[in-house]
Amino acid sequence: MRLREAMVTEECFDARRLDDLLLPVLERHAREPGQLVQILREAQERIGYLPAPLLTAIARALKLPRAQVEGVAGFYSFFHLTPPGRYRVLFSDNITDRMLGSAEMLDRLCNRLWIERGKVSEDGLVSVDTTSCTGLCDQGPALLVNGRALTRMSAERIDRIAELIRAQLPLADWPPEYFRVDDNIRRRDSLLSVDWPAGEALQAAIARGAEAMLAEMKRSNLRGRGGAGFTTAIKWESARRAPCHGESGVRYVVCNADEGEPGTFKDRVLLSSYADLLFDGMTIAGFTIGAARGLLYLRGEYAWLLPALREKLERRRRDGLLGTALCGQPGLDFEIDIHLGAGAYVCGEETALLESLEGRRGIPRIRPPFPVSAGYRGQPTVVNNVETLCKAALIACRGGAWFAGLGTKQSTGSKLLSISGDVETPGIYEYPFGVSVEQVLRDCGAGNAQAVQVGGPSGICLAMHEFSRSIAFEDVPTAGAFMVFGAHRDMFEVARNFAHFFRHESCGFCTPCRVGTSLVADCMDKIARGLGTQYEINQVFKIHRLLHAASHCGLGQAACNPLFDTLQKFRPAYERRLCSLDFEPAFDLDQALAAARQMTGRDDPAAHFGLAARLPGVAS
C-alpha cells in the first residue's frame, strides 16, 4: 500500500469521507461489537488515527456507548486519538536493544529529523518514540515503522532512514534488506527438526480419535510453554467436559501469540516457519475438545507476519485442512480467525487476552471461573501458547510416551530458548528440559556472563554461582527468554529498564500495580540521578512485598521481581550510586528555579539556590 494514499491527514479529514472509509470495515466485521479492537485497528489503518467523530460513528454503528469505545481506544498503545506522524517510528526499548545502542540511535534519528522524541514534527510527517520489546532481540536494535519491522539498525542505516523519511519515500521503496528478519535457529531438537507437510499431524490425530488423542496428551505430560506450566491435558479435558452455555454455545481454541515478554521471540520463529504445525496443533485441540473454532491472538508488534499467516490459512482451506469436513471426515469442521492485538503486554495474560478478543480493554478477569469452563464469550475455551500447540501436533504424530521420554520427569519434552544479549550467536536454541544454564551459555558463546535473565523481566535473574541450575519447571521455569549480561554490564540499568517496562505495561486495574509500578520506576530514576539512599532501597522492598501479595494478576505480582533479584545478587551496582545520607529529597530547589531563570534571562549566581550562599561576596 502506498503510504501517502493510505493516510488521510487532519486537513483533508471530513465526515463524509469518514463514512466511506468506515463502512467497509464495519461490513467486514458484520457490525459485531465483539470485533471492536479489530474495527478500531482497521479504521485507523485507513484514516491514520482515531479522531473523536470516528469513535462516535463506530459507537453508533456497533450500538455501544461511546465512552466504552473511547475507553478501548485509549487502552492500547498502538491506537492514536491524535494524529501520529505519517511515518511513525517506534524503537524497541528492550534492554537488549539498548545494549546494542538503540538509545543513541533514537537520539541520532531525532537529531537528523530535527524533532523531539515523542512529539510529532510540525508538518505532521514523522514521530519517533520507543515501544516495548518487539521480539527481534537477536537482530536488534530493532524498530517498527508504521507497523513494519526493521532490524539491525546502525548509524548508517539511521542516517539513510532519515533521508528516506524526509524524501517521503513509501516504505515499499525502502531497501528491502532493512526489513529482513532471520529465524536464527541455532540448535534444533525434537520440535524444530520436524519437516512435515501441512496436515500430517492432524491426520495422525484423526487416526487416533479424540479420546485416544487426549490419552496421548495425558501420557505426554506436556505442560504449557507460556511460562505458567499448567498441564495441557488437564485444560483440554476440562474444556471437553465443560458444558457449553446457551443453545448456540460452542467451545473455542485460542492460541496465545501475544509474545510480549521482553527478550522472547521463539513464537515469532514458529509463526514464521512452523505455522502449519501450529495450525495443525490448533485443529487437533479443536478436534480433541470438540471445538469448531480457533482464534489466533497475534500481538500487534507482529502485524507484519499477518499476510503470510493469512496465506497459509488460505492454502489450508484449499487443501481441505480448514473449513468443513477436514481431511475428508464429514462433521469435522474447524475455522481459524486471526485477531491482532494493539500493543498491550498484559493481554498475554489469558483472561486479559479473552477480554481483548471480545473487543474490550485488556483487563485480567477474576478467576475462577477459568477459561476452560467460561472463556471466550463465556464458553469453554482452551487457551494455549504457540509452542504448546506445536508440541501437541508433535505428540499426535509421535505419541505421548515418546514425548514423556524427553526432558525430565516433571518437565517433559523440549523448550525453545530465545537467546539474546552478550552472546556470540543470538537466536533460537531448542534443548530438552533439564539442560543446565552453563551448557546453554557455552553453546551460544557467552564468554564473560555475569548474569542471565531467564523468563524475561517477570522471570528470574541468575548470577554466576547459579549457572549450574537447570531449565525446567522444577528448577528454573521459563517462557523462553534468555538474556545474557556480560561482566561489563550495569545490572542496575537492567533492572531500571524492566521497572519502566512494567510501569508502561501495567493495565492500571488494581491499585498496587497501577501506582506501585510508577513508584518503583521513580525510585530507580532517583537512584540513577545519584539522589538515592538506603531509604529508596527499603521502599523498593516494601512495594515488592505489597505487589506480590495484593496485585490482581501475575503482571503486578512479578513486576518487582527483577529489582528484588538484582538487589539480592548485584547490590554493589545499586550501592555505588547511593548518597551516604539517610534521605535525599527528589525535589531539587535549584532545578525548580530553572523556569524563572529562563523567563528572566538570568543565570548569575544569585539566580541559583544554594550557589549564592556558597559564593562569598554575592548578594543573596
- CA 46/CA 551 separation, integer angstroms: 38
d(C-alpha 30, C-alpha 7), whole Å: 24
Per-residue b or e along 66-84, where b marks 16 or more CB atoms closer than 10 Å to that residue's CB: eebbbebbebbbbbbeebb
> What are the backbone angles phi and psi of residue 547, rounded to the nearest 5°?
-60, -40
Stretch that binds another protein, among 236-244, 259-267, 429-437, 514-522 (CB under 8 A): 514-522
Give yes or no for a contact between 489 and 521, defined as CB atoms under 8 angstroms apart. Answer: no
Residue 502 or 574 with smaller CB distance to another protein: 502
Q: Whose Cβ is closer to another protein: residue 81's or residue 464's?
A: 81
CA 512, 514, 517, 518 torsion-angle sign? negative
Q: Could you tell me which stretch among 176-184, 240-248, 391-399, 509-517 binds another protein (CB under 8 A)? A: 509-517
Contacts of residue 7, Cβ cutoff 8 Å, sequence gap at least 6: 47, 48, 86
Among 302-310, 443-451, 485-493, 513-521, the segment contacting another protein (CB under 8 A)? 513-521
CB of 492 to another protein, least distance (A): 20
Shortest distance (Å) from residue 52 CB to another protein: 5
Q: C-beta of 255: minimal distance to another protein in Å?
A: 24
- Which residue number, 233 or 546, has a Cβ lying nearer to another protein? 546
Binding another protein by CB under 8 A: which of 1, 15, 23, 67?
A: 67
- Between 501 and 570, whose beta carbon lies closer to another protein? 501
Nearer to another protein, 52 or 594 (CB): 52
Q: Which of 30, 167, 366, 619 binds another protein (CB under 8 A)?
A: 366
Position 592 contacts another protein (CB under 8 A): no
Q: How far is the CB of 342 from another protein (least distance, A)?
A: 11
Told to check if 40 binds another protein by CB under 8 A, we report no
Q: Residue 519, Cβ neighbours under 10 Å: how many?
A: 18
Among 136, 390, 472, 546, binds another protein (CB under 8 A): 546
d(CA 277, CA 547): 39
**Do the bridges between strand 335-340 and strand 291-298 make them parallel or antiparallel, or are there none, so unpaired?**
parallel
Put residue 209 in one of left, alpha, beta given phi > 0 → left and psi -120 to 50 → alpha: left
Q: Cβ closer to another protein: 35 or 506? A: 506
- Contact pattern for another protein over residues 124 through 163, marking x by CB under 8 A: ----------------------------------------
CB closer to another protein, 140 vs 260: 260
What's the alpha-carbon Rg for the chain, to the nearest Å?
A: 26
Strand partners, 449: 486
Q: How far apart are the first and last CA of the chain?
A: 64
Asked if residue 395 binds another protein (CB under 8 A), the reply is no
Measured CA to CA, the distance from residue 321 to residue 310 in angstroms comes to 14
Binding test (CB under 8 A) with another protein, winner from 140, 375, 512, 562: 512
* Strands 449-454, 148-150: pairing kind: unpaired
Amino acid of residue 41: R
Looking only at residues 289 through 348 of this chain, which bind another protein when binding is defined by CB under 8 A? Answer: 344
Q: Which of these ranges, 61-69, 110-118, 230-238, 248-256, lies near another protein under the rule CB under 8 A? A: 61-69
Q: Is 588 in the site for another protein (CB under 8 A)?
A: no
Hey, what's the cell of 548?
Answer: 506480590
Does residue 596 touch another protein according to CB under 8 A? no
As a whole number of angstroms, the distance between CA 334 and CA 344 comes to 28
Kindly tell me the sign of the dihedral angle through the C-alpha atoms of 211, 214, 216, 219: negative
CB of 516 to another protein, least distance (A): 7
| Phi/psi-derived region of residue 67, left when phi > 0, alpha when psi is between -120 and 50, beta in every other case | alpha
x/- track of binding to another protein for residues 453-482 (CB under 8 A): ------------------------------
Query: For residue 381, which amino acid is it?
Result: T
Give the nearest distance from C-beta 77 to another protein in angstroms: 8
Binding residue for another protein, selected from 10, 20, 31, 71, defined by CB under 8 A:
71
549 or 595, CB closer to another protein?
Answer: 549
Give the CA distances from residue 305 to residues 158, 181, 268, 310, in Å, rounded to whole numbers and listed in that order: 23, 11, 8, 9
CA gap 399, 243 in Å, rounded: 28
Q: Does 487 bind another protein (CB under 8 A)?
A: no
Other C-beta atoms lying within 10 Å of the C-beta of residue 545: 12
Please answer whether residues 280 and 199 qualify as being in contact, where contact means their C-beta atoms are separated by less than 8 angstroms.
yes
Distance of closest approach, residue 346 Cβ to another protein, in angstroms: 8
Between 586 and 594, CB nearer to another protein: 586
Contact letters for another protein, residues 516-545 (x by CB under 8 A)? xxxx--x-------------------xx-x
C-alpha span between 489 and 464 (Å, rounded) = 14
Q: Which of 3, 6, 13, 68 binds another protein (CB under 8 A)?
A: 68
Q: How far is the CB of 45 from another protein (least distance, A)?
A: 21
- Comparing CB distances to another protein, the nearer of 216 and 536 is 536
Judged by CB under 8 A, the residue of 25, 383, 394, 510 near another protein is 510
- Helix, strand and coil in the chain, % to nearest 5: 50, 15, 35
70 lies in the site for another protein, by CB under 8 A = yes
Nearer to another protein, 370 or 482 (CB): 370
Size of the site for another protein (CB under 8 A): 45
Kindly list the residues in this chain that would bind another protein in the complex (CB under 8 A).
52-53, 55-56, 65-68, 70-71, 73-77, 344, 361, 366, 503-512, 514-519, 522, 542-543, 545-546, 549-552, 586-587
